[in-house]
Chains A and B, each alone.
Chain A
């Protein structure tokens, strides 16, 4: 699965070769280009961080660099915008989605691998077409269905929606991974008298653990960052999930309390970037695997 990702052994040899090819002047030029592009890329993050610690008058002065330092912006933003509720809703939705997506993806990936018939292959292909469907294209029937089921304005409806959109990619990743591990072991367990479910639970599942981490990471990021589903399915944007809540804050306070909006944005950015950076290895592997398999 991770042929591309795994084939990145950072031995000293290629590095040394690379160094030999470039002259010192060229290397210095390229280094400068690296730092300049990187710095420009970080401007939006740094600017928002710099706004988040200013006083109101400093925000609307014509100074570029902050001349004030007000950490209580973060406390004010948290209290004034009800960030606690928004965070809690995002956590619940993300947790629910990760559980449902992972369970559905791992069981079906295993099933698709074990029972290969023309019908199951066709089903697999149909589910993969879900990768292509823009959420906006199906939001109307989905909204109607959730209303009819009495799930409108519940976090459950958002969990269902996020899960169904996260499922195809998770299945693709797991199916790719599952083909690389020796699942014949489950046949051996069957011969020894284990039930199908036992063979899956005690033989296959432990072997799939590394790929499950990747799947969980991808559905965490896509759900935490999801916007259209909570926007449509929850009726009060101020007590929705974090993404929708932030847009409500932005439209109400964005013009007058830029420092508080910035503080809220920084608070929203920190946890997801922490997860993202800590798990970047899994992310890169999943990205390569998905691209290669596709």
Chain B
């Protein structure tokens, strides 16, 4: 009785769509007219294999997920350790890291556009203050720079997430172990290496998987910041899916891109299942 409403709601609006998209991937549906769905077999998947833009989008998605996961942890953990020293300024740093988490990826994209745009802070500094270059740097317009810019904005937004999780983990670190190590003559770095990091290892594993799961969901930030461009240099699977489905009306083909996204997300899900050592 208590479970039924949520179960029905979930089945109808999430489980059913997941199953439906798996089916639609095998159709050559174009447009959204229901009478025009025709079975297409594995043609869509063959097309994916020979579509250079899909290959790029897949590559960028994997790069995005891998780089954000590595950088968020490589930056988030040291910042959590720094805040945990409780030196003057640690509260300021914590607030500065925390604030971007409350913003929508859309606002993050707008903020970074204003900082990095042709009249943005960085280009004002480079062109007019320091005279390093006579023309503005095309952070978003240069195909070689755009993906890095997108990664930077994403890391800016989510560093606080990792910081909070690691900081919370550090609060439960048994102080006696650190004390004992200190009495035994271990310096700060050795205590970090032999006490703190081993204690945090299971937390690091969980945070890494959370970052992976979050990474596959990327859409808003890239859609607003670059729209996947210039020339597909920041195209990821979700932006390509959106373009195929809602701009070009290739609904069946877009569904096969959705299957690719689901397959990648499932791999992370299985990893999490193994980590937790239980059903999920």
Partners in one complex: yes
Q: CB within 8 Å of B: which residues of A?
A: 3-5, 7-8, 13-15, 17-19, 21-22, 27, 30-35, 37-39, 41-45, 47-48, 51, 59-60, 62-64, 103-105, 107-108, 110-112, 114-115, 120-121, 123, 125-145, 147-148, 160-161, 163-165, 167-168, 171, 196, 200, 221, 224-228, 232, 243-244, 246-247, 250, 254, 258, 261-262, 265, 268-269, 272-273, 275-277, 280, 284, 287-288, 291-292, 294
18 contacts between A and B (CB under 8 A): A33-B82, A62-B129, A63-B124, A127-B7, A134-B265, A135-B217, A137-B21, A167-B6, A225-B105, A227-B105, A227-B223, A227-B224, A243-B107, A247-B106, A247-B224, A250-B110, A258-B117, A287-B164
**Cross-chain contact A30 with B82 (CB below 8 angstroms):** yes
Kindly list chain A residues whose C-beta atoms are within 8 Å of the C-beta of B269. 129, 132
Kindly list chain A residues whose C-beta atoms are within 8 Å of the C-beta of B93. 34-35, 37-38, 41
Kindly list chain A residues whose C-beta atoms are within 8 Å of the C-beta of B24. 140-141
Assess A111 versus B3: contact at CB under 8 Å? Given A14-B175, A43-B115.
yes
Interface residues of B in 116-132 (CB under 8 A from A): 117, 119-121, 124-125, 127-129
Which among B15, B182, B246, B266 is the interface contact of A21 at CB below 8 angstroms? Answer: B182
CB nearest neighbor in A for B262: A137
CA distance A45 to B117 in the complex (A): 15
CA distance A164 to B272 in the complex (A): 22
Assess A246 versus B96: contact at CB under 8 Å? Given A160-B13, A287-B165.
no
Kindly list chain B residues whose C-beta atoms are within 8 Å of the C-beta of A144. 20, 32, 34
Which among A22, A140, A142, A225 is the interface contact of B103 at CB below 8 angstroms? Answer: A225
- Does B261 reach chain A (CB closer than 8 Å)? yes
CB nearest neighbor in B for A163: B9
CA distance A28 to B210 in the complex (A): 34
CB nearest neighbor in B for A226: B104
Assess A5 versus B103: contact at CB under 8 Å? Given A161-B13, A261-B110.
no
CA distance A21 to B86 in the complex (A): 12
Which among B95, B106, B238 is the interface contact of A243 at CB below 8 angstroms? Answer: B106
**Cross-chain contact B18 with A45 (CB below 8 angstroms):** no
Which among B15, B168, B220, B237 is the interface contact of A227 at CB below 8 angstroms? Answer: B220
CB nearest neighbor in B for A232: B246
CB nearest neighbor in A for B157: A44
CA distance A135 to B79 in the complex (A): 31
**Cross-chain contact A288 with B265 (CB below 8 angstroms):** no
Kindly list chain A residues whose C-beta atoms are within 8 Å of the C-beta of B115. 43-44, 47-48
Kindly list chain B residues whose C-beta atoms are within 8 Å of the C-beta of A105. 6
Taking chain B's interface residues, is the majority helix, strand, or loop, or is none over half, making it mixed?
helix
Kindly list chain B residues whose C-beta atoms are within 8 Å of the C-beta of A272. 102-104
Which among A30, A131, A140, A168 is the interface contact of B87 at CB below 8 angstroms? Answer: A30
Interface centre among A21, A132, A171, A232 (most CB of B within 10 A): A132
Assess A132 versus B213: contact at CB under 8 Å? Given A38-B93, A138-B17, A227-B220.
yes
Counting chain B residues whose Cβ lies within 8 A of the other chain, the interface size class is 35 or more
Give A132 Cβ to nearest chain B Cβ, in Å.
4
Taking chain A's interface residues, is the majority helix, strand, or loop, or is none over half, making it mixed?
helix
CB nearest neighbor in B for A44: B111
CB nearest neighbor in B for A126: B15
Given A38-B89, A128-B280, A141-B24, 14 other A-B contacts at CB below 8 A? A4-B168, A41-B97, A41-B100, A47-B114, A60-B119, A115-B3, A121-B279, A133-B262, A136-B258, A138-B14, A196-B1, A254-B113, A280-B98, A287-B161
Give B260 Cβ to nearest chain A Cβ, in Å.
9
- Does B147 reach chain A (CB closer than 8 Å)? no
Assess A17 versus B175: contact at CB under 8 Å? Given A41-B97, A126-B15.
yes
The list of the 10 closest CB pairs from A to B, nearest first, reads A111-B2, A276-B102, A225-B104, A34-B89, A62-B128, A108-B6, A38-B96, A136-B238, A141-B20, A141-B17
**Cross-chain contact A7 with B171 (CB below 8 angstroms):** yes
Kindly list chain B residues whose C-beta atoms are within 8 Å of the C-beta of A168. 10
CB nearest neighbor in B for A35: B89
CB nearest neighbor in A for B240: A136
CB nearest neighbor in A for B203: A291
CB nearest neighbor in B for A279: B102
Kindly list chain B residues whose C-beta atoms are within 8 Å of the C-beta of A160. 13
Kindly list chain A residues whose C-beta atoms are within 8 Å of the C-beta of B125. 64
Assess A22 versus B188: contact at CB under 8 Å? Given A104-B5, A136-B242.
yes
**Cross-chain contact B124 with A62 (CB below 8 angstroms):** yes
CA distance A272 to B115 in the complex (A): 21
**Cross-chain contact A141 with B110 (CB below 8 angstroms):** no
CA distance A246 to B105 in the complex (A): 12
- Does B58 reach chain A (CB closer than 8 Å)? no
Interface centre among A17, A34, A131 (most CB of B within 10 A): A34
Kindly list chain B residues whose C-beta atoms are within 8 Å of the C-beta of A13. 175
Which among A43, A47, A142, A273 is the interface contact of B17 at CB below 8 angstroms? Answer: A142
Kindly list chain B residues whose C-beta atoms are within 8 Å of the C-beta of A246. 106-107, 110
**Cross-chain contact A294 with B272 (CB below 8 angstroms):** yes
- Does B51 reach chain A (CB closer than 8 Å)? no
Kindly list chain A residues whose C-beta atoms are within 8 Å of the C-beta of B237. 136
